[in-house]
Structure 1
Amino acid sequence: MELERNHKPCVIDSKFISLLFTFEDLAPPPHSSLNKSFPVGYPGEYFLLFANCNRGSLVSMHVRTELYNSFDDGKHRDYLSAGETQLPSIYFIFSAFYLCFLAFWIVECCKNKKSVHRIHVLMAVLLIAKALNLICASEEKHYVKVTGTPHGWDVLFYTFQFFRAVLMFTVIILVGTGWSFLKPFLQEKEKQLLMIVIPLQVLANVASTVIGENGPFIKTWVTWNQLFMLVDLICCCAIIFPIVWSIRSLRETSKTDGKAARNLAKLTLFRQFYFLVIGYLYFTRIIVFSLRTISSYKFEWVPNGAEEMASLVFYMMMFHMFRPTDRNEYFLVDDEEEKEAERYLQRQEFEL
């Protein structure tokens, strides 16, 4: 705000900065160099800025910087910020949860082999991608914390993040359309939706990679950030449609096939899934964003922890709803329940 009010803005003129050095502090040419440490006495959130306030001049330099928090009288260095130093442990703990979840899911599928559909296999692959994504995120943050660089773990992180994102949206769409549950095929509009969402997710992950690998001071950073948010929002809206289509299809089918109780149970299930997806998207897109906005620099890990906790709860509830089981509660109905379901559907139709 201060720079915007200044007609000739220069960051070194701001009263809010701590000036570290200028060219006056450099040794005389041709061997102009500077090698100094700048301890920070007051805790807070800091950014390192380079400013050229002499318009029309060009400056080139080779810079190596190390920013870290020092512990044990300088013997231990933590290259992560104070608010992110807990992230390696958080990501590792959640990856362990997902690996246990995967083991439980495999056992559950083996117990009910006759009820296992293709979607259950795809859901297992999703758990693998999520666990590997978190393991790579943990290792990336750990190496940054210890050495200051990710040592190639960032490449693996973005790779598994891409597969996890594409698989998650694909699984939600396929579950929402009733693929393998209600019908063993996809309609044309559902195929078209997948053909739209998957390329959009590829674009969103490219934008996410650019945002993650570049700081907020490059010229296109804001553009890529807005593009990522827009594409992610479009994908989130798109995956709601197949669930609505399934609910509408079940409601129409219940009037004609004479299996009111079964259709009512399925209709209730897909309504619950609809609200679950809406709640998950609202929390991870709105609440988490709000937490990132209001959190102090010391608690930057809180939004990440909240997002991973919400994702774990969402996965557990979704997998529980559509788990393989020999004794499917949605098909174990007697004549009395069938009649009661018919009366309930008739009342709903009348009210609508």
Structure 2
Amino acid sequence: MASLPFLSLCFFVFLSLSSSPTSAEIRVSDIRSDDRTVIPFDEFGFTHRGRLELHVSQISLSNPSSELDLSKVGFFLCTRDSWLHVLQQLEERDITCALGSELIKNVYTFNSLNEAKSFDTLYNETDADRYTLVFANCVLQLKVSMNVRSAMYNLEGKNGGRDYLSAGMTVLPRIYFLFSLTYFTLAGVWIYFIYKKLLTVFRIHFFMLAVLALKALNLLCEAEDKSYIKRTGSAHGWDVLFYIFSFLKGITLFTLIVLIGTGWSFLKPYLQDKEKKVLMIVIPLQVVANIAQVVTDETGPFGQDWVTWKQVFLLVDVVCCCAVLFPIVWSIKNLREAARTDGKAAVNLMKLTLFRHYYIVVICYIYFTRVVVYALETITSYRYLWTSVVAGELATLAFYAFTGYKFRPEAHNPYFVIDDEEEEAAAEALKLEDEFEL
């Protein structure tokens, strides 16, 4: 199949499967001297009253000729399931170009251009499903330049108002707003605890308050971002605030996990060199991760470097998640070793099992928000994509609540108080533990 390399099509499938759902607001894309076989644009969940407005201008072909078959160059809509069958057709050489398949929905082919350098088209989609807008170029060595403005939306209500959020995501503004209210409430409760327990408040407690506030502001900005996109197709600047607070929230959350894992402020007023190095790794990586997030969100899969930035984001996120576990492991190891050499450390080991629990909870939180939520996005019907968002936010809320409850300011924290009776009991328990291990 010389006109449409199979590897390129497989690459597009990987793109579609690896990308998270987009809000598909009005998108303006600038394509310059691009000879890719397929260029995927936004994905969108249409209802039975779906619309696609496509305006393409400044069209330029590298070698315009009357002999070119421009019916093999154009835009189409395709579902993921249909695309897999199109791939099979291409592999079996039943067709030579995706635009020739009966499984896709042609939006516009360039043989209708005549001598024009632009076109406008409105496509009505009555079959409810999740579609990807794709540009196909099945002419070898043909480079295409153009400006593409795409707007996908659903009509709702009797008045036919436009909803620019994909079906299954239209409730997200309310969901994010409710979660932001929850975090603002938690921040208020945390302020109350700090005020009531001033004598037992550590610096880490104020840092935890900052994390709560940034999370609440991040969700509020995301709610406004999605609300404006839903109504107008544009975020009207709320996306900038969202990215700022997302950046600050990500850095502070990972830093908080590292600080709690090292016992900073609770057990010691300083950080060791190796713990500082973890922070020096995590913080710059979070900067890179947020840059990658902005690039992938704002450019969309049509960008030639989109896949690279997506891979950078995933890699950096995995490295950060692994790095924050090391300080917790070091703390558990140091406490266990100290308990066998320092008599007064025995009770600390027995009562700082909290660090072991925290280690397990951090792992569960990372696994759920990175793996389970992604699996839900993949297997859930496009109509219920909001459920994966709710699942991820509930897991995050549970993690915040656990951290706050276990490390709240208390006058008699069971993992700080040491007396002779507790020391003897802890030492005896350790002895029994050692005998059991032998």
**Normalization by structure 1: what TM-score?**
0.93
Who is 1:20 aligned against? Answer: 107
Residues 1:318 and 2:403 are matched in the alignment? yes
Q: Quickly say closer, same or farther: Cα 1:9–1:137, change in 2 above 3 A.
A: farther
| SS state at 1:203 partner | helix
For residue 110 of structure 2, what is the amino acid of its counterpart? F
Distance apart, 1:306 and its partner CA: 0.7
Report the structure, 1 or 2, having the larger strand content: 2
Aligned ranges for residues 157-306 of structure 1 at < 5 Å?
157-259=242-344, 262-306=347-391
> Which residue pairs with 1:327 in the alignment?
412
Say whether the 8 Å CA contact 1:253–1:263 is kept in structure 2: no
Q: Quote the Cα distance in structure 2 between the aligned partners of 1:64 and 1:216.
A: 15
Question: What is the Cα deviation at residue 216 of structure 1?
Answer: 2.0
Task: Tell me whether 54-63 or 281-290 shows the greater mean CA deviation.
Answer: 54-63
Query: Does residue 5 of the first structure (1) align with residue 91 of the second (2)?
Result: yes
8 Å Cα contact 1:261-1:337 kept in structure 2 = no
Give 2:151's match in structure 1, choosing from 66, 90, 95. 66
* Equivalent position SS for 2:107: coil
Give the C-alpha shift of residue 94 in structure 1. Answer: 0.6
Is the CA contact 1:165–1:201 (under 8 Å) kept in the aligned structure 2? yes
Question: Equivalents in 2 of 1:33, 1:210: separation in Å?
Answer: 28
Once the two structures are TM-superposed, the CA of residue 61 in structure 1 deviates from its matched residue by 4.1
Is 2:224 the counterpart of 1:139? Answer: yes
Q: Answer yes or no: is the 8 Å Cα contact 2:225–2:242 preserved in 1.
A: yes
What's 2:34 paired with?
none
SS at match of 1:54: coil
Q: What amino acid is the match of 1:5?
A: E
Residue 266 of structure 1: how far off its partner (Å): 3.7
Percent identity reads 50
The 2-side partners of 1:279 and 1:24 are apart by 54
Tell me the distance in 2 between the aligned counterparts of 1:138 and 1:349: 54
Deviation at 1:256, TM superposition (A): 3.4
Q: How far apart, CA to CA, are the structure 2 residues paired with 1:195 and 1:333?
A: 34
Q: Deviations over 1:30-50 (max 9, x none)?
A: 5x6544422111100112223
Partner SS, residue 38 of structure 1: strand
Q: Distance in 2 between matches of 1:244 and 1:9?
A: 57
**Aligned length, in residue pairs:** 350
In the TM superposition, what is the alpha-carbon distance from 1:308 to its structure 2 partner? 0.7
CA displacement 1:188-233 (0-9 Å, x = unmatched): 1001111111111111111111111122232222221111111111
Per-residue Cα deviation, 1:222-261 (whole angstroms, up to 9, x for no partner): 2211111111111111111100111111112223332356
1:156 is aligned to 241
Task: Output the CA distance in 2 between the equivalents of 1:116 and 1:180.
Answer: 10
Amino acid at match of 1:48: L
230 and 174 in structure 1: CA distance in 2 versus 1, 3 angstrom threshold: same
More helix by share: 1
**TM-align CA RMSD:** 2.1
- Secondary structure in 2 aligned to 1:20? strand
> Could you say if the C-alpha distance between residues 186 and 9 of structure 1 is closer, same or farther in structure 2, counting changes exceeding 3 Å?
farther
Structure 2 unmatched ranges of 5 or more: 1-83
Q: 1:56 to 1:260 in 2, by over 3 A?
A: closer
CA positional deviation for 1:76: 1.3
Map 1:38-57; keep pairs closer than 5 Å: 38-57=123-142
Deviation of 1:109 after TM superposition, in Å, equals 0.6
Amino acid at match of 1:44: D
TM-score by length of 2: 0.75
CA 1:65–1:216 in 2, change beyond 3 Å: closer, same or farther? closer
Aligned to 1:345: 430
